[in-house]
Amino acid sequence: MKAATIEFLRQRFADYYKTAPLSAPPSVEQREWAFVLFDPGYPEIRMRRHIGYPGKAELFEYARSVAPAHLYYSSAYYGMPHAPTMGEKEWLGADLIFDLDADHIVRGPYEMMLARVREETEKLIGMLTSELGFDEKEIYLVFSGGRGYHIHIRDISVRGFGSAERREIVDYVCGIGLDPGIVLSSHSPSLRGWRQRYIEALTEYLLILERMTPKDAAAELSALEGVGKVTAEEFMKRSRDLRSALQSNPSGVNLRDFATGKVIKALSAAKEGTFFSILQKKAALADEPVTTDTKRLIRLPSSLHGGSGFRVTPVPVRDLPDFDPLNDAVIFGTRPVRVDCSRPVTMPLLGAVHQVEKGESRVPEALAVFLCCRGLAELAGGETARAPG
């Protein structure tokens, strides 16, 4: 990134931090803080971390003085957050964090990725509240400023969880390690949770198989590890009865039957294929390592994201369906700025669709910041870094 572009971004971020209402998490003095600045050589990451503050006034004063490209704090609480090594920090507990990043879910135009990750976030919130017992008031939801959402749960009941307990939670929401025998043997009168999702996925898959020719269906099943042609053919003979049982009496499905049990267990163990894809769509695709990490650094809500120029924005859970990051997280305005774009870009922003050709052109300041942050453009020659006035 050219020096003029770095200076343009630094000054735009500085103008934001001068007057922006900043927020801080509870227990500022027990958190580790970390910053990435607009130093020469940016966007190469040179993180300044292992920093502690006695309170939010000192934190905000420093943030306003350096106008960081990225600002992070620890999900963990420490006795000595400023200690230079993790072993010296005296871990006291950590918030439960979920990270949903569109990069891990779908690839495509930015606006499409944002819409898709919002769907996953809504799905995860539903699991947390209706199946895992978290009150909606305990869920602090934040647009990451980039391509996803963070969910913070700060309830003291989860603060002491280690990586193993957090792994159990994220495995549940992601549908990892499902045992078909346990899922199907429940005698609950109502379908809910993963029992309902599993039965729906298996029913959908059976319908797909039944629409195939017998030869193609057998070939599909024979591709599963440990399933041969004879077993596949026997399974298909039972397919309609199995589908009927799943809909009327799931706990009556006989997994001891050789063909039925072998195929269902092989389907559950598969990490690819049609059934895996159907079941995965019913999971909440959270980033597992983030949740299991008891010492994670997470972006500070109300800071700016140096990869987009968007605000890391708290979103009340009830407002998520109507939240539009391409309007609601945009800080900068429409003053025209000349940039030199490295390739053509089509980008919806602030209620308009912008088509930017390769080479020099004038674009709204918000888009100029986004393109420069993304590494898609440089400030054009002769353009001033600071806004007039």
Q: Which residues does the annotation mark as catalytic? A: 99, 101, 287
DSSP letters spanning 202-217: HHHHHHHHHHS-HHHH
Residue 175 contacts residue 283 (beta carbons within 8 Å):
yes
Q: Which amino acid is at 329?
A: A
| Separation of alpha carbons 250 and 268, rounded Å | 16
The Cα–Cα gap between 82 and 49 comes to 8
- DSSP β-bridge partners for residue 355: 346
The candidate with the shortest Cα–Cα distance to 387, out of 14, 1, 3, 2, is 14
Distance, CA of 309 to CA of 370 (rounded, Å): 6
**In the chain, how many H helices and how many E strands?**
15, 15
Q: Taking a C-beta distance cutoff of 8 angstroms, is the pair 193, 232 a contact? A: no
CB atoms within 10 A of CB 357: 10
Here the tokens at position 31 are 């958190």
Let me know the angle formed at the C-alpha of 207 by 193 and 253, rounded to the nearest 5 degrees: 55
CB atoms within 10 A of CB 209: 20
Cβ(52)–Cβ(82) below 8 Å: yes
Q: What is the SS3 assignment for 22?
A: coil
- Rounded Cα gap, residues 263 and 284, in angstroms: 25
Asked whether 151 and 97 are in contact (CB, 8 A), the reply is yes
CA distance 259 to 236: 9
Residue entry with tokens 């353009």: 383
> For residue 77, which amino acid is it?
Y
| Strand 359-364 to 91-94 pairing | unpaired
